[in-house]
């Protein structure tokens, strides 16, 4: 009995009773029984909830499986529809490609024509007057879609405008860059797509900056006069030099070196050749005038009997001043007089011949030094850039040309002056023989 009471007390304490302890054992038993009933009720309710939740979960699982089956059937139907649509798209694409065959070729042709037209328009002089007119051309050249009819018509209009402007002479205001680098506004006259002039000066068009530029070097004066006359004319037909290369010839004219540049390309050897040429020219001119003056005096002396101040007059004076000598002595005296006159007649001819021989040798020297410089440049920088070798090649070629240009005229002058000098010497020899013959004839008569 005691053990049962202790067990009931332990159950009561484990139940966590918050009321005051029972007074009797029966009250304790009754209280334990009631607590036990409450716990059973709670366990039953909890089991009922678990059972309901399990049924609900099974219902949800069943519903999910049902929806999964429905979606799988729907997915199968959609897959079949997708494959059918894919086949329809492939068929439509094949039909589209078949029907767009000629249009695709047209697109390629339009892009090619637009690319060619873009180059023509960008470099045309008309663009200096009408800038930004190639927007449609740039669009068509880079387009990846078929062009619209309006775009094709606009491309056609640009091409027609270019052809029409190529045959017109138009004056319009435009900004241009002078040879001094100043940007000013001038009235520019455009002759088709070939030339543009302003103030008698020819202009070049730079597509990069879309500006007209006045080159530092201009064509000959007569061409500039034609350009100025065209600018001042109101109507009529006037002569004018056209550049069919659309500015390429004018650009080459700027790059062609002038005389000063050629002399600089020749280097120190070229300067020496020029100095030799000038010295030879001065000697030739001095000899030409002196021999021409002596020739005139000799010709007049041949018509006179009184000795004058000229070579022939001095030879005649020797004859006149020695009337009593024999013919042999007179001949020797005349030879002596002729020998005295020859240095005057032949002075400078030997030096002129020497200069004519030295000039081509100096040209050859410049050629050799230029080739040496060229090979040194090749050794240092290789052959990748031709401009590195241009200096030595220019010196090699220019000095050769300069040497020949100097030597040929000097040889001609030497030949001409030698002929004149020899003719005068021949006249003196002839008259000297005539004087000896006259003395011999006079001696025989006496």
- SS3 sequence, 209-263? CCEEECCCCCCCHHHHHHHHHHHHCCCCCCCCCCCCCCCHHHHHHHHCCCHHHHH
Decide which of 322 and 61 is more confident: 61
Average pLDDT over residues 56-60: 82
Report whether pLDDT(159) > 60: yes
What's the pLDDT at 434? 78
Other Cβ atoms within 10 Å of 47 Cβ, number: 10
The token pair at 281 is 């020219």
pLDDT tens-digit map of 268-323: 888 888 899 899 999 989 888 888 888 888 778 777 777 777 777 787 777 777 77
pTM of the model: 0.50
pLDDT at position 15: 47
Bridge partner residues of 204 (DSSP): 213
pLDDT tier for residue 17 given thresholds of 50, 70 and 90? very low
Work out the mean pLDDT of the chain and round it to a whole number.
78
The confidence band for 131, taking pLDDT boundaries of 50, 70 and 90, is: confident
Backbone angles phi, psi at 102, to 5 degrees: -70, -35
């Amino acid at each position: 009995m005691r053990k049962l009471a202790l067990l009931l007390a332990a159950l009561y304490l484990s139940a966590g009773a918050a009321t005051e302890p029972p007074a009797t054992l029966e009250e304790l038993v009754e209280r334990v029984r009631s607590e036990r009933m409450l716990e059973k009720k709670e366990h039953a309710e909890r089991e009922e909830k678990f059972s309901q939740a399990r049924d609900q979960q099974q219902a949800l699982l069943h519903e999910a499986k049902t929806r999964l089956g429905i979606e799988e059937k729907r997915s199968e139907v959609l897959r079949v529809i997708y494959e059918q649509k894919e086949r329809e798209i492939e068929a439509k694409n094949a039909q589209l490609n078949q029907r767009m065959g000629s249009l695709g070729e047209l697109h390629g042709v339009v892009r090619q024509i637009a690319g060619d037209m873009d180059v023509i328009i960008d470099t045309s002089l008309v663009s200096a007057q009408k800038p930004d007119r190639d927007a449609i051309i740039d669009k068509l050249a880079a387009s990846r879609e078929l062009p619209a009819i309006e775009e094709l018509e606009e491309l056609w209009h640009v091409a027609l405008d270019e052809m029409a402007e190529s045959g017109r002479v138009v004056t319009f205001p435009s900004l241009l860059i002078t040879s001094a680098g100043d940007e000013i506004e001038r009235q520019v006259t455009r002759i088709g797509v070939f030339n543009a002039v302003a103030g008698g000066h020819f202009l070049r068009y730079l597509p990069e900056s879309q500006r007209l530029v006045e080159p530092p070097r201009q064509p000959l004066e007569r061409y500039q006069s034609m350009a100025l006359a065209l600018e001042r004319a109101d109507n009529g037909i006037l002569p004018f030099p056209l550049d069919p290369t659309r500015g390429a010839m004018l650009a080459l004219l700027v790059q062609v070196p002038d005389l000063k540049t050629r002399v600089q390309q020749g280097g120190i050897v070229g300067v020496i050749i020029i100095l030799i040429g000038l010295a030879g020219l001065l000697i030739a001119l001095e000899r030409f005038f002196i021999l021409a003056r002596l020739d005139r005096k000799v010709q007049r002396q041949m018509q006179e009997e009184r000795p004058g101040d000229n070579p022939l007059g001095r030879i005649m004076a020797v004859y006149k001043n020695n009337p009593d000598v024999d013919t042999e002595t007179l001949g020797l005296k005349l030879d002596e007089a002729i020998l005295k006159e020859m240095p005057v007649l032949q002075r400078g001819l030997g030096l002129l011949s020497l200069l004519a021989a030295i000039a081509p040798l100096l040209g050859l020297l410049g050629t050799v030094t230029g080739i040496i410089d060229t090979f040194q440049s090749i050794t240092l920088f290789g052959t990748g850039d031709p401009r590195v070798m241009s200096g030595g090649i220019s010196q090699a070629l220019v000095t050769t040309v300069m040497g020949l240009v100097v030597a040929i005229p000097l040889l001609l002058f030497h030949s001409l002056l030698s002929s004149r000098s020899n003719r005068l010497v021949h006249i003196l020899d002839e008259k000297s023989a005539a004087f000896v013959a006259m003395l011999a004839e006079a001696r025989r008569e006496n």
